[in-house]
Structure 1
Amino acid sequence: MKFGHHLKTSLYPEWTIYYLAYDDLKRELKTRIRNGQWSDDDEVSFLELLEKELEKVYGFQTSMSKDINRRVQLCEKEIDNVLQDSEATEDRYLALEEELSLIIADVHDLAKFSRLNYSGFLKIIKKHDKQTNREIKYTYLSRLNAKPFFKETYDALIVKLSRLYDIVRTRGNPVKGNSASGGQQQNFVRNTTKYWVHPENITELKLLILKHLPVLVFNPDKQFDQADSAISSIYFDNDEFDLYLGRLEKTEGAEAIRLRWYGGMDVSEIFVERKTHREDWTGEKSVKERFQIKEKNVNKYLRGEHDMADDFKKLRDKGKSEKEISDLERLANEVQYRVLTKKLHPVLRTFYNRTAFQLPGDARVRISLDTELTMVREDNFGDVTRCGDNWRRMDIGIDYPFSQLPDEDVERFPYAVLEVKLQTQFGQEPPEWVQELVRSHLVEAVPKFSKFIHGVSTLVEENRIHLLPFWLPQMDVDIQKPPQGNYGVQRPLGALDTPSHEHNDPMSSGSSGQEDSITVQIDNEDEITEETPLITDNDPESSRWLWTTPPTNVLEDETVFASTSTRQVPNDYKGRRVAVPVRVEPKVFFANERTFIAWLHFTIIINGFALGLLNFGTDDLSNIVAGTFMFVSLVIMLYALGMYLCRVYMIRKRSSGPYEDKFGPAFICGLLFVGVLVNFCFRFWQNEQFIPIRIR
């Protein structure tokens, strides 16, 4: 699809004149290039047009942002008035809900407006550089950074809209509870599914979720700060990456140990966490346990020089139960023992900004969206000092995109990560809106995705990591999918148009023109196959240009029985094994046991015949035949035992098989046939009275 056509079919009609006049700029390039010549005057004229378009787009985006914030403030005042009015009618709530829905739709369209225009500027710049042989990419990226209409995240606005919509949706009775209760939990047992979210869909996804769940705010009295959503974790492993392999292969009891903090580098409270994987057949659930420690004591604790008893004594004084204190002490001792005995050290940092959606104090449905996900090396491999003797490196904080780091030390993940965590009773279905969300075009299911595993597999040297996660070879496949039906942010039916179309911008140059009847094809640069590049504030050369393939869904369901295997994978991954997630159900072990018992039942029947002949036979021939059948049953019994033990080993190792028995049944049938034939032959030769019947 041509970008010009994509732009015209994706824009919000009421704002048409404020979008980048992409086709007009294309036409200007085509008409001014004469015999392959591009003069200085042509360059100046084109840059002036480009600057006017930037002023138009930036001006409209700024004006609309102010207008939306003004309307939100008006709604906030009206909601306060309604709450104070004990006789507020349903109509007033309906009017407020409709206005908030219109604002939500405007936020969605404005976010889409920014991304479409940003992509348009990048494409027209690339087209200019290709056709005129004059490069302006880096200089114009600086101009874009000076008018950063595309950098608005709307996070603060979304938090405010979430609170207001929750009040209106519940008709002034929002769910009360301790919003920080999730942060105080020590053990977490939930059913969690993970999804990737394309950058184009992030804002829309947030706006859709907030209509059902409010944004979880730990301190509602504090004004929202971007640092409040920052989460950083330091993962530990040894030189052999035993913890990485255990988590990747999902071995029973595999652990992940990390240190996590919320906010900037100045926080004093650090969470020490341990995640333990449990297989389904054990009947136990995977669990995450954690305790708090002061940042100043972390290094001493990791060296075994700090005793947590004094820290837990303070918790006891605050009223914590003895059981909780005992569990925390056990966890602290076990983690410290693991670090010392397994020689664990920092290997990886993950950073992201999290938006969590949950009813306060109610963990039955919790949805979190992690954006700006970044993995950073923390190890000291290869004589490179990163964290040194400290538990984390200090040359970075939460300053995404960490442009000060060398490329080999940082991995900026191209998608957001959505986690849906449910605590439902046995047999209870998740809410319908959650099922619609995870089935929609906005998300791509990635079973068992792990930030830790992805970071290690992409950043650590190839000679240290020989097993890769299944999703890594598929990273060059675009996950963006076309919209499905009418699912998404919709304007209320019958609602009046928002006042946004009344804006007048003197620099507007009209709407985008029609697609050129004659287009210049240059390396398919106009096709919609580009991931939006990342532009930093300081260094425009740090932009990432990701050219991807058309959208395709290639991920398999996690219930497919597969295994670690060697397959051909692209780029520098070729020749290394790829671990495919395997879900081993308890019924797999039971099926193996049932098969073994069925074979034993068969051997018992044969042994019954043999014992009958041995005990009641009257001649030596009966003893010979009985011995033959007993030998056959013994061979079958040993064979069945061997197959049972072999299959148990293969299931535990998640081998891909084969699990079928191609030759055993045929071999055993042959043994039975030989036994019966021996019996018949001996009886034939022994019976001297045997007279064959002749038919005339």
Structure 2
Amino acid sequence: MRFGEHLRSSMIKEFYWYYIAYDDLKKALKTDFVTEPSQENPKPDRKPWSEDNEKDFVALLESELDKVFNFQRIKSEEIVRRIQSSEADVNDVVSRLDGASDRRQSLRSSQSPPTDEDFLLLEQILSDIIADVHDLAKFTQLNYTGFQKIIKKHDKQTGWHLKPIFATRLNAKPFFKDNYDAFVVKLSKLYDLVRTKGNPVSGDSASGGNQQNFIRQTTKYWVHPDNITELKLIILKHLPVLVFNPKKEFEEQDTAISSIYYDNPDNWEFYQGRLKKTEGAEAIRLRWYGGMKSDQIFVERKTHREDWTGEKSVKARFSLKEKHVNAFLAGRKTVEDVFAKMRREGKKSDEEISNLEQLAREIQYRVITRRLQPVTRTFYHRTAFQLPGDARVRISLDTELSMIREDNIGRVRAGDNWRRMDIGVDYPFSQLPPEDIERFPYAVLEVKLQTQAGQEPPQWIRDLTASHLVEAVPKYSKFIHGTASLFPDSINLIPFWMPQMDVDIRKPATRRFGIERPVPSTSQSTNDETPEDEDSDDDAAQLQASQQQISGPARETEGREEDHPLFANTDGNVLDIEERIGARSLDEDDYPLYDSDQESTEEDELEEARRVGGMHYYRLLAKQYAKRTGSGLVEGLKTILPRPRPTSLPPPEQSGVAVIGPQRTIKRFKAPKGKRIYVPVRVEPKVYLAAERTFLSWLEFSILLGSIAATLLNFGQDYITLGSSWGFTIMAALSLLYSLVLYIWRVDKIRKRRDVKRVYYEKWGPTAVGIGLATILLLNFGLRARQAGFIAKDAGVGLKNVGGSETGEL
């Protein structure tokens, strides 16, 4: 779908007049004709793009930017006020609930306890606010994409380079930079209070729950940036945002998670093991939460276990002070010194401390003996959804995912330190060169379920994971993706999802799923404030008063920027760090969201030709009718002619398979030159046993053939029996040799986890054996029949001779 069509179909009716006037901006890019269109010349040349045209276009563009920015700002402030008002209402209702249960407080006991209708009304109000946040996020995303597209079209058609210059204007009014995480956290808390009727689930937020007698299932999905806010709002209506410190105000830095992965760059042992999922494969990483000032570093080891072993994959860790990390990894600080303070405090049992010491000793030994070095850092902001103290359902969404090089190959990055110190948590790390960072284009959704055997996950989770909002990517790993992307000269074995990174994962909505605005109720809100009572006049005044000068200096580009009409009334304010970083996104080729490079559609050309008239219009009209007729004939022939028909799949709700449209697109992905894609293969012990059973079956068959050959050789008297015996002997020997080679080859491929078809299916061996046996039997039958014919012929000649002699004698 072209962006213009997508914009028109995605507009929210209430926000209609505040969207970017994309069609008007497109028309502004077209200059007047040199001569009026006529029948002889229906498409005359247009006048060249002039400075006056540029000034008019920039003025229109600035007015559209002002309109979008001011509406987004005022709407965001309105949502803040509504959340604050709803928070006061919820606290009032909850306080009445507490007062009804505590009769000792005379003031509260006089108030009537809240009813179910009160909580239902609050839930409707919060659902309406959630829908507003969703609509505002969609509004922001569509308009930001619209500005990117129209600037790209301007630079392509006119030859005037506006894109790098307009970045400063766009960052001076950064309507697209609003972070909705604070809204999500606040709405999650309020909605959880209302949903549980003032009795939210309490527990330790850091608790992992009881792991015994539960089967843990983890699935990973990619989420396109367009769907991140909507996905968060959907999840918070079922699970609250997990906040470790509810008393602290939300800060974006609190959600930052950074991890340093270690490996040996000479053999990439840990990368290979984690990619191939070999039994016992390990990953060692150092993780901290928050900013660079965090003093608590977690040393973790993840160990992969195959299901057939009866064990589960394990993640074990212990904490360490940041100042002791280098000494611990180098072996200068012993394990006993690390846990000496813990033993003195006595907060943990001796058994727990002993287990931690054993873990620390093993990690220290591996780092030293295998010469492990920091290679890859992963950074992301995590939003976790979980009931406190209940780990049966845990959902985490990682956004702004970045992978950064930590090695010293080529140049010094981390040096002798365990991590590099030239960066922190300042996403998008614009100070790094492109070869040092990989910015992942999607968010990563991880769903962890702990359900009893045979128990189905909740229906809303099944609907979520089967919706158009997510793309399933089994076995996705941030460490594997980052290492494969950042070390292309060293890594030749890449994961299966790497060649698919250029495929757009967005899908059309196949069914109604997502945020829906609640049905309007006749009841008033708890603060008795109608939409007409809100500060609509003030909002309108702000919209008019905010048409002001756009400040912000121009960055250095080709030519004199102060001569460009975009900078006609600047006051020379210096961009701050956020604006400089945000300006970077427009300096690069934007993500190909829509096929909008060819915006002049056939309908536009036909409409323009219709106004001109003449033969040109009739030619275009005939061409369009011929095209439609041809398409109709092709579809009709496809329907009438007998041909193989694809099997129609059941609805997605029944099979769990999302079918997009009536057609399927099959694309073969190939690895880059010099690299090989590793396809994950699940290998269980029964695969080895099946290979052994197949080998034993071949041996049994070969022994049977050898027995037949020996019997014929011992009891045969003529050359036919001897020939058949040799045939069966050769067949038995070839079968023995073939089965031995095949068994060794299969075991080797299974051990290497190679997805080879002949490992599980063999068509040439049985075919050759069958043809050989048939040939031997037919030859034996033919020779025997021929021998019988010779004997009968000789017997007939003998009888004839005998009869002639008797007649002569008579």
- Tell me the TM-score normalised to structure 1 length: 0.83
Question: Residue deviations 1:628-658, cap 9 Å, x none?
Answer: 9899778756654553343222122122324
1:341 aligns with 2:369: yes
The equivalent residue for 2:507 is: 481
Query: In 2, are the aligned partners of 1:567 and 1:575 still within 8 Å (CA)?
Result: no
CA distance in 2, matches of 1:104, 1:27: 36
1:424 aligns with 2:489: no
- 1:45 is displaced (CA, Å) by 3.5
Q: Give 1:664's aligned amino acid.
A: G
The equivalent residue for 2:679 is: 580
The equivalent residue for 1:330 is: 358
The equivalent residue for 1:315 is: 342
The change in CA–CA distance for 1:29 and 1:613 in structure 2 (over 3 A counts) is: closer
Q: Give 1:475's aligned amino acid.
A: M
- 1:284 is displaced (CA, Å) by 2.8
CA distance in 2, matches of 1:206, 1:300: 41
The equivalent residue for 1:246 is: 273
Equivalent residue in structure 2 for 1:61, among 72, 85, 88: 72
1:215 aligns with 2:237: no
The change in CA–CA distance for 1:48 and 1:33 in structure 2 (over 3 A counts) is: farther
CA distance in 2, matches of 1:127, 1:661: 57
The equivalent residue for 2:419 is: 392
Question: Residue deviations 1:208-234, cap 9 Å, x none?
Answer: 011111111111111111111000011
The equivalent residue for 1:260 is: 287
Q: Give 1:103's aligned amino acid.
A: I
Question: Residue deviations 1:174-221, cap 9 Å, x none?
Answer: 211100224999xx9942211111100000000001111111111111
The change in CA–CA distance for 1:485 and 1:354 in structure 2 (over 3 A counts) is: same
Gaps of 5+ in 2: 35-45, 101-112, 523-529, 546-576, 596-656, 658-667, 797-810
The change in CA–CA distance for 1:292 and 1:627 in structure 2 (over 3 A counts) is: farther
1:544 aligns with 2:588: yes
CA distance in 2, matches of 1:600, 1:548: 59
The equivalent residue for 2:749 is: 650
Query: In 1, are the aligned partners of 2:19 and 2:68 still within 8 Å (CA)?
Result: yes
The change in CA–CA distance for 1:143 and 1:549 in structure 2 (over 3 A counts) is: closer
- 1:145 is displaced (CA, Å) by 1.0
The change in CA–CA distance for 1:220 and 1:693 in structure 2 (over 3 A counts) is: farther
CA distance in 2, matches of 1:164, 1:421: 24
Question: Residue deviations 1:500-553, cap 9 Å, x none?
Answer: 9955367579xxxxxxxxxxxxxxxxxxxxxxxxx96215345432443879xx
CA distance in 1, matches of 2:543, 2:53: 20
The equivalent residue for 2:120 is: 94
1:663 aligns with 2:791: no
Higher mean C-alpha displacement, 438-447 vs 585-594: 585-594
Q: Give 1:93's aligned amino acid.
A: F
Equivalent residue in structure 2 for 1:110, among 118, 136, 142: 136
Equivalent residue in structure 2 for 1:302, among 329, 334, 338: 329
Query: In 2, are the aligned partners of 1:52 and 1:507 still within 8 Å (CA)?
Result: no
Query: In 2, are the aligned partners of 1:195 and 1:417 still within 8 Å (CA)?
Result: yes
Query: In 2, are the aligned partners of 1:32 and 1:38 still within 8 Å (CA)?
Result: no
Query: In 1, are the aligned partners of 2:471 and 2:505 still within 8 Å (CA)?
Result: yes
The equivalent residue for 2:25 is: 25
Query: In 2, are the aligned partners of 1:162 and 1:214 still within 8 Å (CA)?
Result: yes
The equivalent residue for 1:11 is: 11
Matched residue SS, 1:395:
coil
The change in CA–CA distance for 1:609 and 1:27 in structure 2 (over 3 A counts) is: closer
The change in CA–CA distance for 1:471 and 1:501 in structure 2 (over 3 A counts) is: farther
The change in CA–CA distance for 1:607 and 1:42 in structure 2 (over 3 A counts) is: closer
- 1:427 is displaced (CA, Å) by 1.7
- Aligned pairs, number: 649
Question: Residue deviations 1:647-673, cap 9 Å, x none?
Answer: 222122122324222333345456767
1:360 aligns with 2:388: yes
Query: In 2, are the aligned partners of 1:72 and 1:161 still within 8 Å (CA)?
Result: yes
Identity %: 57
The change in CA–CA distance for 1:642 and 1:100 in structure 2 (over 3 A counts) is: same
CA distance in 2, matches of 1:337, 1:8: 62
CA distance in 1, matches of 2:349, 2:696: 49
- 1:76 is displaced (CA, Å) by 1.4
- 1:302 is displaced (CA, Å) by 1.2
The equivalent residue for 1:514 is: none
Equivalent residue in structure 2 for 1:177, among 203, 228, 231: 203
Equivalent residue in structure 2 for 1:48, among 55, 59, 68: 59
- 1:450 is displaced (CA, Å) by 1.4
The equivalent residue for 1:529 is: none
- 1:251 is displaced (CA, Å) by 2.4
1:194 aligns with 2:220: yes
Higher mean C-alpha displacement, 188-197 vs 364-373: 188-197
Aligned 1:414-493 pairs, distance under 5 A: 414-460=441-487, 462-493=488-519
Aligned 1:120-199 pairs, distance under 5 A: 120-182=146-208, 190-199=216-225
Q: Give 1:229's aligned amino acid.
A: T
Query: In 1, are the aligned partners of 2:32 and 2:47 still within 8 Å (CA)?
Result: no
CA distance in 2, matches of 1:158, 1:428: 30
CA distance in 2, matches of 1:170, 1:541: 45
Aligned 1:556-635 pairs, distance under 5 A: 568-569=670-671, 573-599=672-698
Higher mean C-alpha displacement, 270-279 vs 603-612: 603-612
Equivalent residue in structure 1 for 2:90, among 79, 94, 98: 79
The equivalent residue for 2:540 is: 504
- 1:453 is displaced (CA, Å) by 1.5
The change in CA–CA distance for 1:608 and 1:489 in structure 2 (over 3 A counts) is: same
Q: Give 1:225's aligned amino acid.
A: E
Question: Residue deviations 1:63-97, cap 9 Å, x none?
Answer: 11111111112221222222223432111111011
The change in CA–CA distance for 1:319 and 1:608 in structure 2 (over 3 A counts) is: farther
CA distance in 1, matches of 2:269, 2:497: 20
The equivalent residue for 2:301 is: 274
- 1:366 is displaced (CA, Å) by 1.0
Question: Residue deviations 1:25-46, cap 9 Å, x none?
Answer: 2233335797434444443343
Higher mean C-alpha displacement, 663-672 vs 45-54: 663-672
Q: Give 2:236's aligned amino acid.
A: L
Question: Residue deviations 1:77-129, cap 9 Å, x none?
Answer: 22222222343211111101111110000000001111111112222223333
The equivalent residue for 1:378 is: 406
Highest CA radius of gyration, 1 or 2?
A: 2
The change in CA–CA distance for 1:198 and 1:63 in structure 2 (over 3 A counts) is: same
CA distance in 1, matches of 2:209, 2:196: 25
Query: In 1, are the aligned partners of 2:691 and 2:743 still within 8 Å (CA)?
Result: yes
Aligned 1:664-679 pairs, distance under 5 A: 664-669=765-770
Query: In 2, are the aligned partners of 1:175 and 1:359 still within 8 Å (CA)?
Result: yes
Q: Give 1:48's aligned amino acid.
A: A
- Tell me the TM-score normalised to structure 2 length: 0.72
Higher mean C-alpha displacement, 475-484 vs 244-253: 244-253
The change in CA–CA distance for 1:11 and 1:618 in structure 2 (over 3 A counts) is: closer
CA distance in 1, matches of 2:224, 2:772: 61
Higher mean C-alpha displacement, 44-53 vs 443-452: 44-53
The change in CA–CA distance for 1:501 and 1:328 in structure 2 (over 3 A counts) is: same
Query: In 1, are the aligned partners of 2:209 and 2:391 still within 8 Å (CA)?
Result: no
Say which structure is richer in helix. 2
Matched residue SS, 1:30:
coil
The equivalent residue for 2:571 is: none
Matched residue SS, 1:649:
helix
Query: In 2, are the aligned partners of 1:477 and 1:549 still within 8 Å (CA)?
Result: no
The change in CA–CA distance for 1:19 and 1:574 in structure 2 (over 3 A counts) is: same
